[in-house]
A and B are shown apart, each in its own frame.
Chain A
């Protein structure tokens, strides 16, 4: 063991630069995997972040009025209490819509436990007794903005207009409409006005626990303490969390795939570097065996060394991520902050670390095994049979190219197997960079060509307080609006399934909506429908099939004639013509209009114009573009391109080093023949550049294919549907390739110059035995 360590130490000292690069690459990969992990958790579960930031309560208990909640605060394991707050049930009314609401009386001071996180506007103000703060998912669903008003209808039917002071995130309950009633905070005086009868006032109390795992037990204890007759509702944090299972798979999967591929690329880079090292040290290894190293010990030498490097890199990466992660700007920093406080963090870190180190160790295994098989006898290396000039080199000669180019191409490809391996290893990071660029281009596609991606309409207008004809007139008068398609959405039950999908009626028979179709054709008849991938998945149906759905008690038998790209609602949308919903009373009234703008029109300006023209009686809203939410993906893409570039650099260093080792003698001969040092340098640089060019071609080609595949697969999985993938622009690819080749050439200049400076005689005698 001591002897092994002695050798590893000496070897690392001799290859400081390479070792440092490997540590750095591993560290960066560790950082990116940790970030990916944190982002994934964060993206998949925003509730976690809210819970943490708001110091959420682990148990919420609603009790009847008059019950004494004081004993609850003395329960074992309770470290903090939220409330008790007086609560009352009411309805939030908006036009014809009505949603149930829990009003919670809170003071002007934000509580320390289960503190609502004000996202916009401000918290309750004693000066504004009619003020209300809405929970953000409710506010979104009700289209309520800060500064606007909402109508609250009390149990007795009296309505009261309240001003929305703010919108706040809360981890106290799930998001509306999955979790009802919705939540709103008002001042105690306002609560008393809405619900004057104390008998209908409940109390809500939140308990923050030392051990989150004991929530069930504590809840049970609380109910026993209070008496089950007093308790109306108990909620634990686990229930809330599972209700918040939010879908952000696109980001998650992208991150996962990239992180893993980066790891694979790094593992390959390690394998390449270790393999090169073994080849360079054949004599030393033979010597180690001669002095008594067993084959297993030789294998262990390499495994230990590279595992140690991986461990060092992992530790460095984990340390850097922990120290500096939370300091990162934006969502990344926030996600890291949340991640660090998470109890599962240690496990995730250990798993990531083990994965990274194991991958590197596995990658080292093959070269290490080869090292173990090197015979102990210092064999005289048989001179290779003089290799013929490669076809490429012959072509170069034929074209009367300068000697550097001809000899460089010979040097690059005269051993096809090794050249192939080098190209393959270089091509992998390039391929992944292409995939990253493809993701970027797809995001650009969402932003620049929303029509092709199912986002033809950029605004929706909802008449409120004016009739349909007037609304229609207002819209057609607006010059920037190219078309306004009447639409209505109702939930429809899929037979045999307990789930509902959204049945969307949009456009009319003589004025069909331009769905972005990935398959099939547009709606031509009233019994025809197009479906998003998510809807198809839910209904287990394919394009061309007939389905029967029940909407509003009426069964509809629809022929699915096409699949459209649906970025919204996880693609769980079945779209029909407005006429399809026609009942005995004729075509239903449009709930809203989808507005397709003329090219070049600015949605924000059009919205302002429409709002002004309608005096606020048209509720105009922009259509959410998923690309806007995926801004994080861009950050990740940039980071990954960085990691992959680093890995590519490591590969280049290996490739240049092994190329030089192969040619040291040849280069000596060339110089003895009269090539100038500059020409010799040019040969080496040309050879590296040619290998990189081959890798760029292969990597880019594969990357484009893979990128389309991956993104479409992802689209399919997320319900948006295949057909969203966009290729990176050719000029982008060209530029990336050119940069790669240029970098490769630059990287090889240094060792090439060094090799050139070596004495000719040294180079000539370098290969003896």
Chain B
């Protein structure tokens, strides 16, 4: 399978020794990641020899049909799951051999994660859900509260602080989840189908927020099957059957169609 496109060369530069250092501008660098899910009778090759690099400040989307291994790849990169083989550097640090506990410590400050089903802690209020990782990272309750209030103001959640997740709408839950992921100002934001469970309006809101945080310098790696979501990214990686099928930087908007009619005309 060939890897065409302007950015392929960048990811394909495989170092052959373990002591190779990642480029300084790489927030995330993965080499030759392999993960196979073994069931009772079958083995699913979820991720097959994936090389990936995300630079600081980049917004990268991973697209692909369901079952392509997108979520597994994201879990590997966030330390939620362990690769069978391969190497990962996060913020310049080699992380693939870390213990689960070390990963947890790393995630507190360096990686924020947003999921499709929001995955808020059901027993805690929205405010507690956001302040929890802040406290965990060592903030004082006062600092955590201030930071949370700041995020809630940005995400239009001020009046929802005392609600439990069950009392929130899907869009609100995802915004709380976003606040939780960003509360410690992580170097990398991982988002796993963040809009997969939202209607169009909430999808648009979440995308707008992601774009805003990206504009202020946040590095984002997002997994989605939704092209609308992916098109917000600077770069789109197509994952197919556990392998990278394509990796492309999206053009500046000037190159695109200026009106809907341009699109519709394409339909012929």
Contact = CB atoms under 8 A, between A and B. Distances in A.
A–B direct touch, CB within 8 Å, in complex?
yes
A651 B186 CA distance: 44
B119 interface: yes
A287 B123 contact: no
A287 B133 CA distance: 11
B101 A291 contact: no
Interface of A: 2-3, 6-7, 10-11, 13-15, 281, 283-284, 286-297, 375-378, 768-769
A292 B123 contact: no
B113 interface: yes
28 contacts: A6-B124, A6-B128, A6-B131, A7-B121, A7-B124, A10-B121, A10-B124, A14-B122, A14-B123, A283-B122, A284-B123, A287-B119, A287-B120, A287-B121, A288-B132, A289-B104, A290-B107, A291-B108, A291-B113, A291-B133, A292-B108, A293-B136, A294-B105, A295-B101, A295-B104, A376-B81, A378-B115, A378-B117
Contacts of A2: 135, 141
Contacts of A287: 119-121
Contacts of B119: 283, 286-287, 290, 378
A284 B100 contact: no
Interface of A, helix, strand, loop or mixed by DSSP: helix
Contacts of A6: 124, 128, 131-132, 135
Interface string B122-156: 11110010011101110001000000000000000
Interface string B97-121: 0001101110111000101010111
Interface residues of B, number: 32
A294 B100 contact: yes
A293 B123 contact: no
A295 B100 contact: yes
Given A2-B135, A284-B123, A293-B136, 5 more contacts: A6-B131, A283-B122, A288-B132, A293-B104, A294-B101
Contacts of A292: 104-105, 107-109, 133, 136-137
A291 B180 contact: yes
A8 B216 CA distance: 35
B9 interface: no
A375 B78 CA distance: 13
B243 to A, nearest CB: 21
A286 B115 CA distance: 12
B117 A768 contact: yes
A62 B263 CA distance: 119
Contacts of B227: none
B80 interface: yes
B75 interface: yes
B81 A377 contact: yes
4 closest Cβ pairs, A-B complex: A292-B108, A14-B123, A377-B80, A294-B101
A15 B124 CA distance: 12
Taking each of A10, A14, A288, A291, which has the highest tally of chain B beta carbons within 10 Å of its own beta carbon?
A291
Nearest to A11: B123
Given A2-B135, A292-B104, A376-B80, A10 B117 contact: no
Interface in B68-108: 75, 78-81, 100-101, 103-105, 107-108
Contacts, number: 87
Nearest to B115: A378
A3 B128 CA distance: 9
A33 to B, nearest CB: 32
A561 B84 CA distance: 77
A14 B180 CA distance: 21
Contacts of B117: 378, 768-769
Contacts of B124: 6-7, 10
A16 B109 CA distance: 33
Nearest to B131: A6
B75 A377 contact: yes
B80 A375 contact: yes
B3 to A, nearest CB: 28
Interface string B177-197: 000100000000000000000
Contacts of B104: 289, 292-295, 297, 376
Contact of A376 (B79, B109, B135): B79
A3 B123 contact: no
Interface in B49-74: none
Contacts of B108: 291-292
B172 to A, nearest CB: 17
Given A290-B107, A375-B80, A296 B123 contact: no
Contacts of A3: 132-133, 135-136
A376 B101 CA distance: 11
Contacts of B101: 294-296
Contacts of A290: 78, 80, 107, 113, 119
Contacts of A297: 104
Nearest to B72: A377
B78 to A, nearest CB: 8
Contacts of B115: 378
B93 to A, nearest CB: 16
A291 B136 contact: yes
B122 A284 contact: yes
Contacts of A284: 121-123
A289 B135 CA distance: 14
Nearest to A285: B121
A288 B107 CA distance: 11
